[in-house]
Structure 1
Amino acid sequence: MTSESREGQDGTALAKPGQVLPFRESLMAMLGIAFVVMLVALDQTVVGTALPTVVAELQGFEFYAWVATAYLLTSVITVPIFGRLGDDYGRKPFVLASIIVFIAASALCGMANSMQFLVVARALQGIGGGMLVGTAFACIPDLFPDPHVRLRWQVMMSTAFGLANAVGPSLGGVLTEWYGWRAVFYVNLPVGLLGLWFAWRYLPHLRPQARTGSTRVDWFGAFLIAAGLGTMQLSVEWLPERGLDLVTVGLLVLSIASFVSLWRWSLRCPNPILPLEMFRNPGLAPLFLLAVLSGFVMFSLLLYAPLLFQGGFGYSPKEAGLVITPMVVCITVGSIVNGRIITRIPLPNSMLYAGFALLALACLGLTQATRGMDHHLLLGIMLLGGLGLGFIMPNLTVFAQQTAGRAQLGISTAMLQSLRMVGGMIGTALVGTLVTRSYTGGVERALNSAGALDWATRMSDPQILIDRAAQGALLTQLQQAGHNGALLLEQARLSLVGAIHLGMALAAVIAIIGIWRSRRVPPVKLVRVHEPVMAAD
């Protein structure tokens, strides 16, 4: 196939310069990838809404966090494995296999009769999700070697991601309320089957032309990644509650030891899962660090802005959702605007500065947010955060793909996704610990001054400020005990607002560090590419 003409000898449309397929085939292939992205993003947003109902029915609150943790761990581990395999064997077989695994695991989640079964099914679902992330995102530069063309088509990915994040929480609530929590997992089946059909029918099997021999998977490296991230995640889960005790410190030591062993092993392994040369690459290493920093800030905003609005300001879930929606929607808007701007400016790197600056402004804005602040101003703050993420995420991906080259395209894309999740884990640990400690301290001081320390256990969980039924029961009990329950709850709200302000201040500092570290990214030139460099079946 030549890419220089619009039409062949027989009248059939041929690919435009910079893409390997004609427009219609490109559109259909991208629709398949978009459904895949929506499948993963939708699952991550709808499940959280249903979890309280799941625990109430299946019992086993001690496994609550592991429903999310099991998915995160297996997905982070499998992303680099299949990113590497996709580079060597082509991505279509792994995209198809990952959708099948994800659909099957979703059905198993819906059939779960215990929390332990659900955790195992979620771990299997994470394997499918990691395969999807590790291969689907890398399909885009395969289809569109020219970064100018690629940025325009990536708007479809951002739109799919934004729509899934925008409708996911509401959809999860509606499905749980009307059809039961199992429908939250079964909804993946029609979306997955649609994506499977599009990917099977229209996604070409593009293979590296220069590959010779076979590739051996670095399973020991994968085990070390699992050990390092698993112990890190456990410490993240327990640090806000337990502090730096023997268990959490021991887990952190094991995590560090696993990563040090992984580093040494990667130096000796002929085909490591963690290619160290990428981290020594002066063009890729700064992008990897920025992925960690952006994940830190993004997860901090997504987790603690809703808690601020509902627990601190007393908004209903619907009101809080309306305020947060501009952020998730503007991730898509920011990506579209970014695609229009970045190919027209002489220094594409400047969009990274703009993105982190907007993130810093959003976090600083939330540090000043109060219950009486005008809703339009809060909407503007969340809009800034969404635009910032829309300027950062697609550019990190395109810059890394441009720098890594064709041979490491998949693994570099996969590492960006994994490191963003690692940044989210670190952000969850640090911001969560800061918020929990500050809130608990404020509540204990208020209760101590009122002579009501016996109620510290009940009020130390911020969920009491969201659960209206539990609040009513607590107010009655405090009144019967001779305390001013309304005043104590109001003081707890103020403590929560102050605690989240501190957490957002930390996130703002991280965003400012992102601005500073963006200067280490070498100037990126989005070079036009006119010929496909992959072989298609």
Structure 2
Amino acid sequence: MLGLCFVTMLVAVDQTVVGTALPTIVAELNGFELYAWVATSYLLTSVITIPIFGRLGDFHGRKPFVIASIIVFTVASALCGIAETMLQLVLGRALQGIGGGMLIGTAFACVPDLFTDTHVRLRWQVLLTASFGIANAFGPSLGGFLTHYMGWRSVFYVNLPIGVVGLYFIWRFLPHIKQAQRGRIRLDWQGAGLIALGLGSLQVFVELVPLHGASLSMVLLGLFSVAAFAVLIYWEKRCEEPLLPPDMFRNKSLVALFFLSLFTGFVMFTLLFYLPLLLQGGFGLSPQQVGLLITPLVVFITVGSIANSRIVVRLNSPNHILYLGFGLMVLACAGMVVTQKTTSHWVVAVYMMLGGTGLGFVMPNLTVFAQETAGRALLGISTALLQSVRMIGGMFGLALVGTVVGHYHAGSVRQSIPQGDGTSWMALLEDPQVLVSQAVQNDFIIQMRDAGLQGDALIEIARTSLVSAVHSGLTLTLLTALIALAWVYRVPRISFSRTVAASDQPAPPTRGRS
């Protein structure tokens, strides 16, 4: 479990430190047109590989894939660190995504392999959630420190010692537990290819549609994605060993949990990415102040998970904890929608605590509920698909909220400053970057002074516009949280058993170095 914690931290640290260093990276490598793809390439390859390796883990045991994921991720981190162009960095990040997808698709399913008793499993599951919480808490500050004092390449090299330590513990101590199989196992490679086509085209569509609108190319890309999923459904129904077993989607409880995971990803990723923009760009807080205010959100995910492990096993109906978790997320979203520059920082911190605690109550339970419902035969693929769906929810949330924020901010700035229509400085003012970067602000103020205009006053108008725009985006997040709260009603009652049937017991572990 210590080894699994290290490798989950490997992914979590990387996701948080890279975002902090990205502006510096772009400035040095001169590739702003590929800015978004540094994150998108990682997300794309990881979303595709999660269900594939989740199923492979069901067939062949998870230890070989956890080891492979550490090696791939660590090597890819080194390649990112030595990248000389943005294209090389994007390709390195794509390789990192493959390693991250392998890891997420197998590591979480190792816990029920090791601990078949649900009550015991919930307590150990807290360690993985705590690892993510700890990494998310110090990741942004670590990224800023490394970038400032050691250069941006160090944010990738920091993964190397974590990977080596995690690899030692996994190789030495994780048992290779394999499910008993009869006959030769054949992986559904056709299904894997269709998943890659469907999710890949969907990801590209979501990333590009805000830029190109309802153009012919976007319509064709959307239709291609729908067609790929339609063919995938047709194929999986007729495949002898499907990668996505149709029986899994006939289980009402699993389907309801998948939707809740989608909604959770939407809420979590939009809060993590757009609250800093609201606080720094809209309210004018420093990065250090923003870091302090955001920290309770990620820290209380761990606090909520620890509290949850003690509470949920004592409830007659464990489903009630989901109502509580999503209810807290609704309160946090509603609070941030009405937060203004004059709102006390303590009040904002309370909203962050509520949101983090709600996520801590929801995320580990969705995983455990899905594992309890799916049974051992579908353990890996159901766990992997739950994580993949959450990332897809985050992908949709970021794209949708980002489109709303960008549209409303630009429109509000143009309406508030009609005299700037058609000028070069107006386009700069419509970009939230001028509200975040102090260097860009200083250059803008000097440019406006030379033109005989008050740059400070224009920036304040833009800040007001950005606050309204982010509030509009967070309103969508609040609506999603409300839908999720109502959706909990669709989850059939979950019950935890203290014993495991003999047919569900895992095969004896082989403790070789395989």
TM > 0.5: yes
Opposite residue 535 of structure 1, the aligned amino acid is: P
Partner of 1:177: 148
Partner of 1:51: 22
Distance 1:113 1:450, change over 3 A: closer
Amino acid at match of 1:312: G
Question: What residue in structure 1 maps to residue 439 of structure 2?
Answer: 469
Residue 435 of structure 1: how far off its partner (Å): 0.8
Amino acid in the other structure paired with 2:28: E
Is 2:198 aligned against 1:228?
Answer: yes
Name 2:326's counterpart in structure 1: 356
SS in 2 for 1:75: helix
1:194-226 CA distance string (max 9 Å, x none): 011011111111111x31223222222222222
Please tell me the residue identity of whatever aligns with 1:534: A
Distance 1:126 1:196 in 2: 18
Cα 1:406–1:121 change in 2 (3 A) is same
Shift of 1:489: 1.2
Residue 294 of structure 2: aligned partner:
324
Q: Unaligned 5+ residue runs, structure 1?
A: 1-29
Q: Provide the C-alpha distance between the structure 2 equivalents of 1:423 and 1:172, rounded to a whole number of angstroms.
A: 26
Instruction: Measure how far apart 1:449 and its partner are.
Output: 5.5
Q: Report the counterpart of residue 240 of structure 1 in structure 2.
A: 210
Q: Secondary structure at the match of 2:403?
A: helix
Q: Distance in 1 between matches of 2:340 and 2:422?
A: 27
Deviation per CA, 1:488-516: give whole Å up to 9, x if none.
21111111101111111111110110011
Retained in 1: the 8 A contact 2:433–2:440? Answer: no
Percent identity at matched positions?
58
Provide, for residues 338-388 of structure 1, a one-character-per-residue CA deviation record: whole Å limited to 9, x for no partner: 111001111100111111111111111111011110010000001111011
How far off is 1:252 after superposition? 2.2
2:262 maps to 292
Distance 1:434 1:63 in 2: 21
Superposition deviation, residue 123 in structure 1: 1.3
Question: Any conservation in 1 of the 2:410–2:430 contact (CA below 8 Å)?
Answer: yes
Supply the distance in 2 between the matched residues of 1:356 and 1:296 (Cα, whole angstroms): 13
Shift of 1:467: 0.9
Whether 2:249 is the aligned partner of 1:272: answer: no
Among candidates 306, 312, 323, match of residue 336 of structure 1:
306
Deviations 1:64-95 (A, max 9, x none): 22221111111111111111111111111111
Q: How many angstroms apart in 2 are the aligned matches of 1:325 and 1:112?
A: 31
CA distance in 1, matches of 2:421, 2:77: 50
Match of 2:315 in 1: 345
What does residue range 477-488 of structure 1 map to in structure 2 within 5 Å?
477-488=447-458
Scaled by the length of structure 2, the TM-score of the pair is 0.96
Which of 461, 464, 474 aligns to 1:504? It is: 474
Tell me the alpha carbon deviations over residues 430-486 of structure 1, each in whole angstroms, 9 at most, x when there is no partner: 111111111111011112156675532111211110111111111222232233322
Query: Is the CA contact 2:414–2:420 (under 8 Å) kept in the aligned structure 1?
Result: no
2:164 maps to amino acid: L
Question: Contact 1:142 / 1:534 at 8 angstroms: preserved in 2?
Answer: no
Question: Are 1:140 and 1:150, in contact at CA under 8 Å, matched by a contact in 2?
Answer: yes
Q: Which residue of 1 aligns with 2:281?
A: 311
How far apart in 2 are the matches of 1:462 and 1:92? 45
- Confirm or deny: 8 A CA contact 1:475 1:486 kept in the other structure: yes
How many angstroms apart in 2 are the aligned matches of 1:106 and 1:361? Answer: 38
> Does the 8 Å contact 1:58/1:113 carry over to 2?
yes
Pairing 1:193–2:164 present: yes
Q: CA deviation at 1:406?
A: 0.4
Find runs of 4+ consecutive structure 1 residues off by over 4 angstroms. 449-454
Work out whether residues 447 and 455 of structure 1, in 8 Å CA contact, stay in contact via their aligned partners in 2.
no
| CA separation of 1:451 and 1:520: change in aligned 2, threshold 3 A | closer
1:491 to 445, 461, 481: 461
The residue that corresponds to 1:211 in the other structure is 181
Label 1:350 to 1:392 Cα distance change in 2 as closer, same or farther (>3 A).
same
Query: Quick one: which of 391, 395, 401 aligns to 2:371?
Result: 401
* Alignment of 1:136 onto 2:107: yes
Counterparts of 1:453 and 1:111 in 2: how far apart (Å)? 40
Residue by residue over 1:295-332, the C-alpha shift from the partner in whole angstroms, topping out at 9 and shown as x without a partner, is: 01111101100000000000111100100000000000
**Structure 2 residue aligned with 1:527:** 497
> Matched residue of 2:303: which SS?
helix
The normalised TM-score by structure 1 is 0.92
* 1:128 Cα deviation after fit: 0.9
Q: Which stretch shows the higher mean deviation, 401-410 or 63-72?
A: 63-72
Question: 1:182 is aligned with what amino acid?
Answer: R
Residue 501 of structure 2 corresponds to residue 536 of structure 1 = no
Alignment of 1:77 onto 2:48? yes
Aligned counterpart, 2:93: 122
How far apart, CA to CA, are the structure 1 residues paired with 2:57 and 2:195? Answer: 19
- Does the aligned pair in 1 maintain the 2:420–2:426 contact within 8 Å? no
> Is the 8 Å Cα contact of residues 18 and 143 (structure 2) preserved in structure 1?
yes
Tell me whether 1:202 sits opposite 2:161 in the alignment: no
RMSD: 1.5
Query: Relative to structure 1, is the Cα distance of residues 442 and 58 closer, same or farther in structure 2, using a 3 angstrom cutoff?
Result: same
1:429 matched to 2:399 = yes
- Residue 8 of structure 1 aligns with which residue? none
In structure 2, C-alpha distance between the alignment counterparts of 1:111 and 1:311, rounded to whole Å: 32
Amino acid at match of 2:166: G
Using the alignment, how far apart are the partners of 1:407 and 1:119 within structure 2? 36
Aligned residues of 1:85 and 1:215 also touching (Cα < 8 A): no
CA distance in 2, matches of 1:271, 1:451: 60
Counterpart-to-counterpart distance in 1, 2:375 and 2:318: 18
**Distance across 2 between alignment mates of 1:53 and 1:519:** 46
Paired with 1:105 and 1:300, the residues of 2 have a C-alpha distance of 27
Query: Which residue of structure 2 aligns with residue 373 of structure 1?
Result: 343
